[in-house]
Amino acid sequence: MENERKGGMKIIPAILTDNNEDFQNKIKQSESICDFAQIDVMDGRFVPSKSVGVEALSSIDASIGLEFHLMVEDPLSYLEAAEKSKVKRVIFHYETKSIAPEKIIRQIRSKGMQAGLAVNPETGLSQIKHLFNQIDVLLLLSVNPGYYGSPFKTEVLDKARELSSAKHNFIIALDGGVKIDNILDIKDAGVELACVGSGIFKGDVKENYRAFIAKIS
């Protein structure tokens, strides 16, 4: 994770499932290809879909670094699970309106973890710029979160270009609909960290990951 900003874009697997056995399997697959992975957490309220629950999230034993991407109404209720599983970074959504983002960031940092902010496609950068100096990563959602098969929103790349043209201390990340055929457009827009779900886990995981690395090299 420390080398994310060195040597260009980094590809990380995004693990999304509601099945505990599949969850463990995807973690093992991620361990075989890389040193860092994202776990997508959905509560069925903030987004319509649900992922594995707090029990599974609290008992992760991984040999690689992990981050939680919390697509949930109450991010604070997942911090204990993140701490138990030695998660390196927690990313929550700005659109979570029940708790002030500054408070969530403080609570994440109090657990010794990095803090990240995720934004839905329709959220403008002007709405969140007051938080830029408080976060370690800004995760741009290029699909509507929680809806499987949502189309990639190319206009989100304009946000990445705007961010990359300015000086910030956070990592520019992108999640949603990342595929081999659009990864170079994503890289060229200035994205430093690309989260890939089905593009890696559908089919041969090692081959898929190698294909992404070869494409951006």
Task: Assess whether 175 carries a catalytic annotation.
Answer: yes
Q: From the candidates 18, 22, 35, 40, which is the catalytic residue?
A: 40
Name the residue among 208, 209, 175, 191 with its Cα closest to residue 16.
175
DSSP state of 7: S
Task: Assess whether 40 carries a catalytic annotation.
Answer: yes
Q: From the candidates 35, 136, 158, 175, which is the catalytic residue?
A: 175
* Euclidean distance between CA atoms 205 and 214, whole angstroms: 14
Distances (CA, A) of 205 to 66, 135, 151, 163, 208: 18, 31, 22, 31, 5
Q: Look at the chain and count its residues.
A: 217
List the structure tokens of 192.
């430093």
* Euclidean distance between CA atoms 145 and 118, whole angstroms: 10
Distances (CA, A) of 111 to 44, 64, 88, 101, 171: 25, 19, 10, 16, 20
Which positions are catalytic? 40, 175
